């Protein structure tokens, strides 16, 4: 419920209104807390897939490359958010939209860098840049392609994103890939902190209100971190190696064109653009009680793409609007874009300080696993919620069943495509591309009266 001490009802619905700073600053920080864990987790997952994360030889060096990726996640989430709230010409919705690193791209990025170390990051970041430019161009006609992406298609895609990630969450909670095959993997010592995170997160989420409920995952991870600390699983040895200030480096890992990665990024850009359209509409409905204008939707998509492209130049990952912050706007009733601007400035400040990334790196992987199990499950739940809008007649059930069976099957048994080229394997074994293509094509070609 909105707090009348922040402003009048009319002011709270106005994106251009600035609440008193004593209220605006904590509201801005609350937006950061709501998205912080979700924002940095993709960088940790991608670094781990590349072989430069937890359990790698980088541990002795303080995880310099993973720390840098975390740093860029914070910096460019803040910059992309400023593009949304402040705007630049046609870029930006000028609404309280929080940008952050997208989970949607993770299933495409993991096979692109798997086991390649920093050598795999040149192709990935080039794909992020080109995909960002493509995403930007979608802003010119995003409204025209929405008809091809009904809830049946978008819900299936979101569900597949979650299903692709839940395996990662369980692996992390059990000790991480480096421990797989070792006695420590899946031990009670690994699972106790992870279970504490899950239990505390659920308790906070369902038995508290307001600020605490919004930051439930973060509070859960802090609780698990304390338990892991008492169990001797936290290592501060690498913290001293991190500097207090470091600027972003353009083309840190070079430039390498990989067609499979570029195609995957461009495809996921379409999904991200549709998600941003939904988030923009959700903010205007929840915060101002109106529909989003075409200019706001176009500006939001432009900001999505530009933020992603610039992030890729400096070694950051794709950005998108964060849905959890949409719910936060509806909950607080504060529509001010300047509140979110304050949160963006905090993210940018943290992005210039490697110590922040180093502190995050002290979180044991099993503690992080407890948090991401909840988050990835919520991604699946969001997809199911979207699918609840579908009319489940025989036609739609056939489309869903066919797309799900083939895409999930290829994801679970990637060896089934071992005789195809590397490009096809990267695109098809993520599960997302076949799911989307099958669902979109069948939805467009199958007659509506299939039940007759």
Give domain status of residue 404, yes or no: yes
Please state, in angstroms and rounded to a whole number, the distance separating the CA atoms of residues 125 and 127. 5
Residues in CB range of 10: below 8 A, 6 or more apart: none
Q: Are 422 and 316 found together in one domain?
A: no
Phi, psi (degrees; rounded to nearest 5) at 18: -115, 115
Give domain status of residue 209, yes or no: no
Structure tokens at 272: 């991200």
Three-state DSSP class for residue 316:
coil
Q: Are 395 and 312 found together in one domain?
A: no
Please state, in angstroms and rounded to a whole number, the distance separating the CA atoms of residues 379 and 173. 18
Q: Are 338 and 421 found together in one domain?
A: no
Q: Are 244 and 113 found together in one domain?
A: yes
Please state, in angstroms and rounded to a whole number, the distance separating the CA atoms of residues 204 and 206. 6
Of 364, 399, 420, the residue that ends a domain is: 364
Give domain status of residue 152, yes or no: yes
Structure tokens at 412: 């679970």
Q: Are 121 and 270 found together in one domain?
A: yes
Give domain status of residue 424, yes or no: yes
pLDDT, one tens digit per residue, over 37-87 is: 788 889 988 988 888 876 666 766 667 888 899 899 999 999 999 999 999
Q: Are 345 and 433 found together in one domain?
A: no
Q: Are 338 and 442 found together in one domain?
A: no
pLDDT, one tens digit per residue, over 388-410 is: 888 999 999 999 999 999 999 99
| Mean pLDDT for the chain overall | 84
Please state, in angstroms and rounded to a whole number, the distance separating the CA atoms of residues 246 and 253. 16
Give domain status of residue 229, yes or no: no
Please state, in angstroms and rounded to a whole number, the distance separating the CA atoms of residues 158 and 173. 23
Q: Are 360 and 264 found together in one domain?
A: yes
pTM to 2 decimal places:
0.77
Which residue matches tokens 């698990």?
224
> Can you give the pLDDT at residue 1?
44
Would you say how long the chain is, in residues? 452
Contact 336, 17 (CB under 8 A): yes
Contact 411, 429 (CB under 8 A): yes
Q: Are 400 and 323 found together in one domain?
A: no
Q: Are 148 and 261 found together in one domain?
A: yes
Q: Are 357 and 398 found together in one domain?
A: no
- Quote the domain boundaries for residue 397: 391-452
For the cut 90, the answer to whether the pLDDT of residue 301 exceeds it is: yes
- 276: closest CA among 313, 326, 327, 315? 326
Count structural domains, the chain.
Answer: 2
């Amino acid at each position: 419920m909105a707090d009348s001490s922040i402003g009048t009802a009319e002011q709270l619905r106005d994106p251009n209104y600035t609440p008193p700073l004593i209220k605006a600053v904590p509201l801005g920080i609350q937006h950061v807390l709501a998205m912080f864990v979700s924002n940095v987790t993709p960088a940790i997952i991608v670094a781990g897939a590349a072989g430069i994360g937890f359990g790698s030889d980088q541990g002795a060096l303080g995880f310099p490359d993973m720390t840098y990726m975390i740093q860029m996640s914070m910096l460019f989430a803040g910059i992309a958010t400023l593009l949304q709230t402040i705007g630049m010409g046609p870029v930006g919705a000028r609404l309280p939209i929080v940008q952050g690193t997208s989970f949607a791209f993770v299933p495409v990025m993991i096979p692109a860098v798997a086991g390649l170390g920093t050598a795999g990051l040149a192709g990935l970041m080039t794909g992020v840049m080109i995909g960002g430019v493509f995403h930007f161009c979608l802003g010119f006609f995003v409204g025209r392609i929405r008809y091809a992406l009904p809830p049946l298609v978008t819900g299936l895609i979101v569900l597949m994103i979650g299903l692709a990630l839940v395996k990662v969450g369980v692996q992390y909670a059990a000790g991480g890939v480096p421990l797989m095959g070792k006695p420590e993997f899946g031990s009670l010592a690994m699972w106790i902190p992870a279970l504490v995170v899950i239990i505390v997160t659920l308790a906070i989420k369902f038995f508290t209100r307001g600020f605490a409920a919004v930051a439930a995952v973060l509070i859960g991870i802090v609780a698990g971190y304390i338990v892991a600390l008492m169990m001797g699983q936290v290592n501060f040895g690498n913290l001293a190696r991190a500097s207090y200030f470091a600027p972003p480096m353009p083309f840190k890992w070079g430039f390498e064109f990989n067609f499979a990665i570029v195609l995957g990024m461009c495809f996921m850009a379409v999904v991200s653009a549709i998600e941003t359209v939904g988030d923009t509409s959700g903010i205007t409905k929840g915060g101002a009680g109106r529909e989003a204008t075409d200019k706001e939707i176009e500006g939001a998509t432009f900001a999505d793409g530009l933020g992603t492209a610039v992030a890729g130049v400096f070694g950051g990952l794709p950005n998108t609007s964060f849905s959890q912050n949409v719910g936060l706007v509806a909950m607080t009733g504060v529509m001010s874009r300047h509140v979110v601007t304050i949160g963006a400035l905090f993210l940018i400040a943290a992005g210039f300080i490697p110590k922040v990334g180093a502190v995050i790196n002290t979180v044991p992987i099993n503690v992080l696993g407890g948090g991401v199990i909840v988050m990835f499950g919520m991604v699946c739940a969001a997809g199911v919620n979207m699918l609840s809008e579908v009319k489940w007649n025989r036609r739609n059930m056939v489309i869903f069943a066919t797309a799900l069976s083939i895409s999930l099957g290829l994801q679970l048994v990637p060896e089934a495509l071992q005789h195809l080229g590397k490009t096809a394997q990267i695109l098809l074994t993520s599960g997302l591309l076949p799911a989307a293509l099958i669902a979109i094509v069948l939805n467009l070609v199958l007659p509506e009266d299939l039940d007759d």
